[in-house]
Homo-oligomer: A and B are copies of this chain.
Amino acid sequence: MTSPAILVLTTGGTIDKNYFDELSEYQIVDSGIAGLLTEARVALPIRVVELMRKDSLELTDADRALIAGAAREAPEQRIVVTHGTDTMTETAKVLAAEVPGKTICLTGALSPARFAETDAPFNLGMAFAAAQLAAPGVWIAMSGQVFDGLKVRKDRAAGKFVPL
């Protein structure tokens, strides 16, 4: 197996949230994803592109078109997208329709990467492996599992992703 090149597209979401102070709401800041990959000692050729810094509830159709365009036009065949969890499945549908022939894995976090306790690095690791191993298509890596991106939903009450 040769080392595949992986493109990482960051879009914001809880995984990249930070906290400032009592007068301001917490905000999505400069992405910490590249730092997570350094900490994980990733030695593959990777490229990290920060597309936007949005809560996934604020993502518009235009934002999703931009994500799909970036994935489609990229030279890489294997793509990881970091994304807020609340509308991750909606973006998965757009990517499945708009980006044929590539392996794309979306992931995010229920607890921000800047927290001492967080699911961010584990989830990012799942997404990296899925981008390398899975068949072309759109996948979602959350809650310890790699799901078909079109057959999964977030169960907000239970705090986890579950199969449709």
State the CA gap A129–B30 with chains docked (Å). 27
Copies held by the complex: 4
* Inter-chain contacts of A14 with B (CB < 8 A): 19, 21-22
- The interface size bin for chain A is 35 or more
Q: Do B129 and A121 touch (CB < 8 A)?
A: no
Query: How far, in Å, is A109 (CB) from chain B's closest CB?
Result: 9
User: Contacts A118-B39, A126-B129; is A22 near B86 (CB within 8 Å)?
Assistant: yes
State the CA gap A145–B57 with chains docked (Å). 32
User: Contacts A144-B43, A145-B132, A146-B132; is A57 near B22 (CB within 8 Å)?
Assistant: yes
A133 at the interface (CB under 8 A from B): yes
A111 at the interface (CB under 8 A from B): yes
Q: Do B22 and A84 touch (CB < 8 A)?
A: yes
